[in-house]
Amino acid sequence: MATYPDSPIDLRSDTVTKPSAGMRRAMAEAEVGDDQYGEDPTVRRLEETVAGLFGFEDAVFTPTGIMANHIGIRMLVGPGEELICDADAHIVAHENGGLAAHAGIQTRTLPSTRGLMDVAELAALVRVGDRYTVGTRALEVENTHNRGGGAVYPIEVLRAIRALADGFGIGLHLDGARIWNAHVATGVPLAEYGAVADTMAVCMSKGLGAPAGSLVLLPPGRAEEARGLRRRLGGSMRQSGILAAGALFGLTNNLGRLSQDHENARRIATALRSAGAAVREPETNIVLVDVDDAPAVAAACAAEGVKISPFGPKLLRIVTHLDVSAQDCDTAADVVSTALMQSPERD
Ligand X SMILES: *Cc1c(COP(=O)(O)O)cnc(C)c1O
Q: How far apart are CA 84 and CA 148, in angstroms?
A: 17
Q: Are 135 and 82 in contact (CB under 8 A)?
A: yes
Position among 90, 114, 262, 317 found at the interface with ligand X (CB under 6 A):
90
Q: Which is nearer to ligand X, 203 or 339 (CB)?
A: 203
| Residue among 297, 301, 317, 300 nearest 309 (CA) | 317
Q: Which is nearer to ligand X, 66 or 269 (CB)?
A: 66
> Binding pattern to ligand X, positions 325-344, x when CB under 6 A?
--------------------
**SS3 for 63-94, per residue?**
CCHHHHHHHHHHCCCCCCCEEEEECCCHHHHC
Does 309 sit near ligand X (CB under 6 A)?
A: no
Q: Name the residue nearer to ligand X (CB basis): 66 or 336.
A: 66
Report the Cα 108 to chain-centroid distance in Å. 20
Coil, helix or strand at residue 148: coil
Tell me which stretch binds ligand X (CB under 6 A): 32-40, 65-73, 159-167, 288-296: 65-73
Q: Which amino acid is at 320?
A: T
Looking at 65, 72, 148, 219, which residue binds ligand X (CB under 6 A)?
65
- Residue number of the CB closest to ligand X reads 65
User: Most distant CA pair in the chain: distance in Å?
Assistant: 67
CB of 22 to ligand X, least distance (A): 22
* Distance in angstroms (rounded) separating the CA atoms of residues 262 and 264: 5
**Pairing state of beta strands 286-290 and 278-280?**
antiparallel
Q: Whole-number minimum distance, CB 92 to ligand X, in Å? A: 11
Helices (H) and strands (E) in the chain, counts: 14, 13
Asked if 202 interacts with ligand X (CB under 6 A), we say: no
| Continuous H helices in the chain | 21-28, 41-53, 65-74, 90-93, 98-103, 119-125, 155-168, 179-186, 190-196, 223-232, 241-253, 258-274, 294-303, 326-342
For residue 269, give every residue at least 6 positions away whose Cβ sits within 8 Å of its Cβ, in sequence order, or none.
Answer: 279, 280, 281, 282, 287
CB 222 to ligand X: min, Å = 20
> In the range 33-52, which residues lie near ligand X by CB under 6 A?
none
**Residue 318 engages ligand X in binding (rule: CB under 6 A):** no
Taking the C-alpha atoms of residue 177 and residue 148, their distance in angstroms, rounded to an integer, is 14
Q: Is 214 in the site for ligand X (CB under 6 A)?
A: yes
Cβ proximity to ligand X, 142 vs 261, nearer residue: 142
**Which residue in the set 20, 36, 49, 64 belongs to the binding site for ligand X (CB under 6 A)?**
64
Label the pairing between strands 309-310 and 82-86. unpaired
- The count of residues interacting with ligand X (CB under 6 A) is 11
Kindly write out the interface string for residues 126-165 of this chain, putting x where it contacts ligand X by CB under 6 A and - elsewhere: ----------------x---x-------------------
Minimum distance of ligand X from residue 24's CB (angstroms): 20
User: Binding ligand X by CB under 6 A: which of 66, 197, 255, 335?
Assistant: 66
Residue 203 touches ligand X, criterion: CB under 6 A: yes
- Candidates 62-70, 183-191, 263-271, 280-288; binding stretch for ligand X (CB under 6 A): 62-70
> Which residues of this protein are in contact with ligand X, per CB under 6 A?
64-66, 69, 90, 142, 146, 175, 177, 203, 214
